């Protein structure tokens, strides 16, 4: 079997627009991601996750939650509100600082982020030189109103990050969970940014999901925990099947650091357009708690009884994008293989991330097979997310499952009625084994999360 795959991606292959197009097409064709409001001509930079995509996105988030919350006694979860009052964003600095420099091309009217221009004098839309306006700062926050009457309604903002919900609940969580530093608060949820240049499919959108954790530590332990979380987060991607050659940890240079950060590293993935950010791990010092303490007048400190001292904890923040991470896993898992005269597309996803863990396929639509195959499906669906597919020839059904990364296909055929056994096909090797139905659950339990 020959491989056409994108396994050994190298910098020389970039930009790899072919892979990018294939992922976008596969996403549409197999119900992973659709452009939003398509029947109305679409709405730029918004996407809907289809029947397969919603499962995969949920699996990415569940895998993060499992590793960050479930398996740790020192991290607790939170689900804070998306709408917030201006006071939160004044304190966090987002109202004054969360902006990008924007320039307009006087020739064609296109707007660009000045800091993202390849050549600061050339408009990438029309190619004209020296036609840009002076840069002005454009705030990325989405502003809205809370209340029915426009004049008196309170101004509210959609959160541009989930992080602030964790800072403003620091005291609540500290007292109710009885944790003490070092401990973390984790949250997954939607964030909104009025990006000037959204693009690259779900990489940069105006509405997206984040997976963030704020880890509160005694100040003297901050740099040790920063290294710990850089390693831990890098390894999370590798443990979930990401090819090591396609991922790297890049420490920020001094010129990239925010004024309060004493260290930030990005986990970067080799996207079809080159290396780009998946997640940032930042040593934020006590900036956020101090800001909220000053603006709200509420003490956001920890009293260490043993040392008889009061301090504002420092924060290490691993902040990842769920939607962006799902896209990276999709790209990394995408393989094309030559099978006889055919090209097989297969998503070699880690079973934990695979949308369906298995598919039950009755060989024919005859009722004598559909009945017991449905019963088998109902039994297995109690344990795993299963697909059930009775349409088309079995070979085509296998290929369909390969394309959405289903690790195992279980075929119920006419012999199954007599020998009470089924054929199980492995996604990656395409090998098939015959297993007694009575042993199937135990066999799968050894291989599936
Ligand atoms: N609390 C820190 C923070 O929000 P960030 O680097 O701005 O840091 C964290 O965002 C992660 O959120 C990014 O690494 C990225 O994966 C994701 N993200 C940020 N903006 C995004 C956007 N417009 N579309 C999709 N994902 C985005």
CA distances to 19, 32, 360, 396 from 55, in Å: 22, 9, 17, 22
194 alpha carbon – ligand 1 mean position (Å): 12
Distance from the CA of 286 to the center of ligand 1, in angstroms?
Answer: 21
Neighbours of 344 (CB within 10 A): 17
Residue nearest to atom 2 of ligand 1 (CA): 319
Amino acid 4: pLDDT: 37
Q: Is residue 211 a contact partner of residue 179, using CB atoms and an 8 Å limit?
A: no
Which atom of ligand 1 is nearest to 160's Cα?
Answer: 4
Mean pLDDT of all residues in 355-365: 97
Model confidence pLDDT, tens digit, residues 149-159: 777 679 999 99
Atom of ligand 1 minimally distant from the CA of 325 = 16
**Could you tell me the fold of the domain covering 356-445?**
Rossmann fold (3.40.50)
Cα 241 from Cα 219, distance rounded (Å):
34
Q: Which residue has the higher pLDDT, 136 or 11?
A: 136
Return d(Cα 288, Cα 91) in angstroms, integer: 8
- Indicate if the pLDDT at residue 11 is higher than 70: no
CATH of 2-85+156-330, one of 3.40.50.720, 3.20.20.150, 3.30.930.10, 3.30.1330.20: 3.30.930.10
- Going by their DSSP bridges, the two strands 358-362 and 386-388 should be labelled as parallel
pLDDT value, residue 13 = 64
All CATH 3.40.50.800 domain ranges of the chain, comma separated, are 356-445
Q: Which phi and psi (to 5°) does residue 256 adopt?
A: -95, -15
Does the structure show a pLDDT above 80 at 387? yes
**Span(s) in the chain for CATH 3.30.930.10:** 2-85+156-330
For ligand 1, the distance from its centroid to the CA atom of residue 198, given in whole angstroms, is 12
Of the ranges 190-199, 258-267, 321-330, the best mean pLDDT one: 321-330
DSSP string, 154-193: EEEEE-S-SHHHHHHTHHHHHHHH---SSEEEEEEEEEE-
Q: pLDDT tier at 258 (50, 70, 90 boundaries)?
A: confident
Instruction: Select from 280, 316, 327, 328 the residue to mutate for testing ligand 1; criterion: most ligand atoms less than 8 Å from CB.
Output: 280
- The full DSSP string for 23-40 is HHHHHHHTTSEEETTGGG
Mean pLDDT of the chain: 94
The DSSP-derived string for 382-416 is TTS-EEE--SS-HHHHHHHHHHTT-SEEEEE-TTH
**What distance in angstroms lies between residue 323's CA and the mean position of ligand 1's atoms?**
10
Q: What percent of the chain has pLDDT over 70?
A: 97
pLDDT above 90 (res 323): yes
Exposure string (b/e) for 372-388, b if CB count within 10 Å is 16 or more? bbeebbeebeeebbbbb
Average pLDDT over residues 194-213: 94
Q: What is the pLDDT of residue 2?
A: 32
On the question of pLDDT at 1 being above 70, the answer is no
Mean pLDDT of 77-83: 98
C-alpha 237/C-alpha 382 separation (Å) is 28
Taking the CA atoms of residue 75, residue 80, residue 82 and residue 85 in that order, the dihedral angle to the nearest 10 degrees is -120
Give the residue, out of 93, 113, 277, 282, with the most ligand 1 atoms within 8 A of its beta carbon, to mutate for a pocket test.
Answer: 277
Q: Which of 360, 358, 359, 363 is nearest to 417 (CA)?
A: 363
Residue the block writes with tokens 């070979």: 395
pLDDT of 14: 65
Q: Work out the average pLDDT over 413-431.
A: 98
Q: How far is the CA of 321 from the centre of ligand 1 (A)?
A: 5
What residues does ligand 1 touch, defined as CB less than 6 Å away?
A: 161, 163, 193, 195, 204-205, 208, 210, 212, 277-280, 317, 319-321, 323-324
Nearest CA to ligand 1 atom 7: 161
Considering the entire predicted model, what is its pTM? 0.94
With the CA atoms of 130, 131, 136 and 137 taken in that order, what torsion angle do they form, in degrees rounded to the nearest 10?
-80
Mutate to test the pocket of ligand 1, among 162, 210, 257, 283 (most ligand atoms within 8 A of CB): 210
What is the arithmetic mean of pLDDT over 54-63? Answer: 98
**Any idea how long the chain is?**
449
The rounded Å distance from CA 396 to ligand 1 centre is: 39
Q: Which residues pair with 362 in a beta bridge?
A: 412
Report which of 281, 304, 240 is spatially closest to residue 61, judged by C-alpha positions.
240
Coil, strand or helix: which one is 331?
helix
Q: Which two tokens stand for residue 64?
A: 């993060």
The minimum-distance atom of ligand 1 relative to the CA of 195 is 23
Q: What is the pLDDT of residues 390-406, one digit of tens each?
A: 999 999 999 999 999 99
Residue closest by Cα to atom 16 of ligand 1? 321
pLDDT in the model for residue 118: 86
**316 Cα–ligand 1 center, Å:** 16
Q: pLDDT tier at 6 (50, 70, 90 boundaries)?
A: very low
At 245, the pLDDT band (50, 70, 90 cuts) reads very high
């Amino acid at each position: 079997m020959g491989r056409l795959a994108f396994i050994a991606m190298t910098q020389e292959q970039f930009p790899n627009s072919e892979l990018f197009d294939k992922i976008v097409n596969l996403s549409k064709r197999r119900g992973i991601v659709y452009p939003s409001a398509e029947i109305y001509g679409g709405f730029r930079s918004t996407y809907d996750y289809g029947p397969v995509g919603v499962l995969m996105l949920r699996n990415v988030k569940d895998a993060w939650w499992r590793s960050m919350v479930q398996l740790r006694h020192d991290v607790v979860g939170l689900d804070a509100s998306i709408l917030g009052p201006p006071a939160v964003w004044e304190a966090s600095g987002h109202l004054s600082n969360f902006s990008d420099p924007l320039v307009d091309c006087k020739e064609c009217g296109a707007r660009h982020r000045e800091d993202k221009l390849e050549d600061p004098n050339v408009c990438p839309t029309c190619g004209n030189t020296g036609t840009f306006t002076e840069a002005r700062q454009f705030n990325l926050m989405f502003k809205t109103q809370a209340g029915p009457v426009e004049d008196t309604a309170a101004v509210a903002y959609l959160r541009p990050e989930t992080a602030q919900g964790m800072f403003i609940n620091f005291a609540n969580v500290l007292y109710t969970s009885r944790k003490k530093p070092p401990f973390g608060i984790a949250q997954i949820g939607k964030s909104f940014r009025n990006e000037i240049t959204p693009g690259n499919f779900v990489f940069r959108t105006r509405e997206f999901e984040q997976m963030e954790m704020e880890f509160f530590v005694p100040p003297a332990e901050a740099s040790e925990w920063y290294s710990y979380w850089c390693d831990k987060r890098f390894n999370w991607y590798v443990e979930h099947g990401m090819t090591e050659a396609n991922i790297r940890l890049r420490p920020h240079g001094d010129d990239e650091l925010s004024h309060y950060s004493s260290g930030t590293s990005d986990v970067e993935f080799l996207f079809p357009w080159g290396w780009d950010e998946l997640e940032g791990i930042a040593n934020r010092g006590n900036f956020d708690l101090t800001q909220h303490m000053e603006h709200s007048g509420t003490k956001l400190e920890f009293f260490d009884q043993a040392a008889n001292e009061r301090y504002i904890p420092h924060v290490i923040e691993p902040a990842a994008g769920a939607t962006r991470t799902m896209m990276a896993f999709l790209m990394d898992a995408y393989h094309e293989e030559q099978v006889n005269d055919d090209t097989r597309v297969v998503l070699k996803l880690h079973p934990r991330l695979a949308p369906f863990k298995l598919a039950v396929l009755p060989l024919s639509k005859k009722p004598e097979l559909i009945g017991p195959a449905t019963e088998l499906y109902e039994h297995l669906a109690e344990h795993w997310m299963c697909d059930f597919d009775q349409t088309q020839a079995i070979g085509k059904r296998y290929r369909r499952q390969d394309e959405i990364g289903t690790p195992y296909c279980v075929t119920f055929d006419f012999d199954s009625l007599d020998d009470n056994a089924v054929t199980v096909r492995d996604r990656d090797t395409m090998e098939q084994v015959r297993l007694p139905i009575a042993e199937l659950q135990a066999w799968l339990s050894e291989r599936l999360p």
